[in-house]
Amino acid sequence: MRMAIPRTVREDFPIFRRRVHGKPLVYLDSAATSQKPRQVIEALVRYYEEYNANVHRGIYTLAEEATAKYEEARRKVATFIHARRPEEVIFTRSTTEAINLVAYAWGLHYLREGDEILLTEMEHHSNLVPWQIVASLKGASLRFLSFDEEGYLVLDDLERVLTERTKVVAVSHQSNVLGTINPVDEIVKRAHDVGAIVVVDGAQSVPHMPVDVQKLGCDFLAFSGHKMCGPTGIGALYGRYELLEAMPPFHGGGEMIQLVQLHTSTYKDPPWKFEAGTPNIADAIAWGVAIDYLCEVGMEAIRTHEKELVQYALNRLQEMAEVKVYGPRDVERRGSALAFNVADVHPHDVAQVLDQEGICIRAGHHCTQPLHRRLGVAATARASFYLYNTEEDIDQLVAGLQRVRELFSRVPR
């Protein structure tokens, strides 16, 4: 099989020199967090060694260098997702914080009693719990779009669940369990027809495929740096500028103000209105370097590589009758997160046995308890791939699952 990305890419990631329990590291948990290339690690060190200073404040050389690099990172993020201007990108701690920002700053200001928020049954808790809280505070109600046996959203139900009372549609671009890539552009058009805004959870899509917010037409997009070769603790919210301009602040404090008096304050324009206090400077700058890295590899190449890996993994796992895989089989309509279960073996046990073979997977409900209830299981195991994974990693996974089968076939029932 032709691989879309050269194997030398793996050499950029120092962690793959690591051995776990004496075995070479096989990292299959990139949906939780990605590994970091040395270029990103060096960028973090360089900031702290060469120009560590606060941004937007000092007029000395270090502060000006830090500010320039910080705002350069914002421009890189904006360009990466095809935002119209850098000011449409707000730095946050994570996808979770970005969604909470919209839920509170937009939701508390604009939602009214009786309004409806439309979600899907495959949402990550980060795109569910904030809307539950805000709906409770405002007297709004939640409605849900279901998914079918193959893991696709039932778009025919939009006619029923999307109404003139719908004010927000919040949807994941790609499921972190089923791998389903949802038709966000179609959902956006239908939502806008009834006057609703659309909030997209891009945590699993932005790192793995080209994403263009203008083509999607979404009003907000939330995503994280740590899932796309960047550091932890840094994420972003894209928002259409006119919406950001009309929203009140999320946090109050230093740096987001124009004028403060004892009883009133006025605020800066977006995005700085939403970035109170000292931001995560080093990680924002290093995230910009991670974006440079991904662009050099090429997002189309990454997407092609992952489709090849997923197809190979689906083929290999089909060889094992005891393994049930969830989500679409069509690699054109799914991403690189692959949830599965081994018959009569708890996912936690699967993960522990695989760990002894040096293989890292996730086991649990993956912050999607409602989705797992729909599947009729409490938990799943999940392997997820990225640009540094190879067919050999999948072969090791399959060999590890055969080891699981051998061990648990000896356990008395």
What is the CATH number for 343? 3.90.1150.10
Question: Which of 264, 295, 326 lies at the terminal end of a domain, its last residue?
Answer: 295
Q: Taking phi first (over 0 means left), then psi (-120 to 50 degrees means alpha), and beta for anything else, what does residue 358 get?
A: left
pTM value?
A: 0.96
Are residues 128 and 16 located together in one domain of the fold? Answer: no
Residue 169, in any domain of the structure: yes
pLDDT in tens, the chain (413 residues): 445 677 789 999 999 999 999 999 999 999 999 999 999 999 999 999 999 999 999 999 999 999 999 999 999 999 999 999 999 999 999 999 999 999 999 999 999 999 999 999 999 999 999 999 999 999 999 999 999 999 999 999 999 999 999 999 999 999 999 999 999 999 999 999 999 999 999 999 999 999 999 999 999 999 999 999 999 999 999 999 999 999 999 999 999 999 999 999 999 999 999 999 999 999 999 999 999 999 999 999 999 999 999 999 999 999 999 999 999 999 999 999 999 999 999 999 999 999 999 999 999 999 999 999 999 999 999 999 999 999 999 999 999 999 999 999 865 55
Q: β-strands 197-201, 220-224: how paired?
A: parallel
Contacts of residue 242, Cβ cutoff 8 Å, sequence gap at least 6: none
* Cβ neighbours around 45 below 10 Å, total: 11
Are residues 193 and 219 located together in one domain of the fold? Answer: yes
Are residues 51 and 16 located together in one domain of the fold? Answer: no
Q: Which domain holds residue 339?
A: 7-32+299-404
Residue 2, in any domain of the structure: no
Q: Which stretches within 121-253 are classed as H helix?
A: 129-138, 158-161, 184-193, 213-216, 241-246
Q: Which two tokens stand for residue 312?
A: 């190979």
Read off the amino acid at residue 224: S
Are residues 352 and 288 located together in one domain of the fold? Answer: no
The pLDDT score that the predictor gives to residue 8 is 86
The pLDDT score that the predictor gives to residue 412 is 58
Residue 378, in any domain of the structure: yes
Dihedral angle over CA of 105, 111, 117, 122, nearest 10: 10
The pLDDT score that the predictor gives to residue 2 is 46
Residue 413, in any domain of the structure: no
Cα(369)–Cα(144) distance, integer angstroms: 15
Which residues are known to be catalytic?
A: 367
Are residues 180 and 212 located together in one domain of the fold? Answer: yes
Classify 236 as helix, strand or coil. strand
Are residues 127 and 205 located together in one domain of the fold? Answer: yes
* Overall domain count for the chain: 2
Residue 315, in any domain of the structure: yes
Are residues 27 and 164 located together in one domain of the fold? Answer: no
The pLDDT score that the predictor gives to residue 409 is 85
Are residues 369 and 344 located together in one domain of the fold? Answer: yes
Question: Which of 295, 313, 337 lies at the terminal end of a domain, its last residue?
Answer: 295
Q: Are 15 and 35 in contact (CB under 8 A)?
A: yes
Are residues 262 and 375 located together in one domain of the fold? Answer: no
Residue 77, in any domain of the structure: yes
Our measurement of the distance from residue 183's CA atom to the centroid of its chain's CA atoms, rounded to an integer in Å, reads: 16
Are residues 172 and 198 located together in one domain of the fold? Answer: yes
Are residues 240 and 267 located together in one domain of the fold? Answer: yes
Contacts of residue 306, Cβ cutoff 8 Å, sequence gap at least 6: 208, 335, 336, 385, 386, 387
